[in-house]
Amino acid sequence: MEDVVSLEAGSATAQVALYGSTVIAWRPKKSTESLLFMSKKDVAGKPYRGGIPLVFPLFGAVSDHSDVPQTLSKAPRHGFARDRRWKTIDFNGDRVTMSLTTQDYPELRDGYPFDFELHHSILLTETALECTLKVKHLSSSQNDEMAFHALFHNYLALPSQSTKVAGLQGRSYRDKLQGGKVLQESQDTCSYVEPKDSVYLGGAPTLRIGEAIELKRSETLPDTTLWNPGKEAGDGMSDLHNGGWKEFVCAEPGHVASFVHLAKGQEVCPPLCASRVLLLLGC
Ligand SMILES: O=P(O)(O)OC[C@H]1O[C@H](O)[C@H](O)[C@@H](O)[C@@H]1O
């Protein structure tokens, strides 16, 4: 089985790695390069530092949250979906669906006592990339309610020093660099000039990132994290090339400010978590 699935739609292309079901490249029509940042440094055994890693079932570290249920108390940082090999269950040229299940990985139940299925579908069109994550809590679980966070960790190949994000004015946000202090966004655009690590609660369903990218998200993804490590932390990251922090901004739609509680046997779709990223200009 190939490690990477290639998608094509007219002259647009995308690549999805089985490792983490990570979209590692996305080139819409008329674009000569991928619009997704990818680090030039590869550290074996670590998730991709770039593309669109998936965060599930915990965002950040256990210590970042005051409401972590017992069932998530052993979850690794950003969960386990981004560093497991997923399985391709459907492929059709411009669309692929991959799965991660406790049937394939029974050992996941040791730290997260649920039976579940994750299905991640990626659809490419000439101008857009649409990612949909479906979460199913199977009735064979020991526990009645499965708690989780989910997030699409989009690394967009845009200059961190000049890119602005529109659509978050007036929203509350948790500034993770100030211990989670809740502030209100007064600016009509947000920038990444300083280190940035903020979880915005709500906001317009479509965010404009820079000049050319629109990020659309479903109602099931109410939060958006904006992150760039800045120079000091960025240059200290073992999996990021020197100066790499200047080459990306992360705009991450998710359900991470609180936990989703999914009853046993219940499937929330369509879709529980859907993130749509599309090229607005230049096509
Ligand atoms: O280094 P990672 O585990 O991939 O996390 C990278 C970043 O992800 C998110 O954006 C978080 O809000 C940040 O706090 C974190 O630093």
- Report residue 266's pLDDT band, with 50, 70 and 90 as the boundaries: low
Question: In 3-state terms, what secondary structure has residue 130?
Answer: strand
Q: What's the chain's average pLDDT?
A: 91
Q: Give the ligand 1 atom nearest the CA of 77.
A: 3
Q: How much is the pTM?
A: 0.94
Identify the weakest region by mean pLDDT among 98-112, 140-154, 189-203, 268-282: 268-282
Q: Is 149 near ligand 1, meaning CB less than 6 Å away?
A: no
Q: Which of 78, 199, 201 to mutate to test the pocket of ligand 1 (most atoms within 8 A of CB)?
A: 78
ipTM above 0.95, yes or no: yes
The C-alpha angle 68, 69, 73, rounded to 5 degrees, equals 75
- Tell me if residue 153 is catalytic: yes
- Of the pLDDT bands very low, low, confident and very high (cuts 50, 70, 90), residue 263 is confident
Q: What is the mean pLDDT of residues 159-174?
A: 97
Domains, the chain, ranges and CATH? 4-279 (2.70.98.10)
Active-site residue (options: 119, 120, 153, 255): 153
C-beta of 176 in contact with ligand 1 (< 6 A): yes
In the 8-state DSSP scheme, what is residue 205?
Answer: S
> Which of 37, 45, 78 minimizes the C-alpha distance to 234?
37
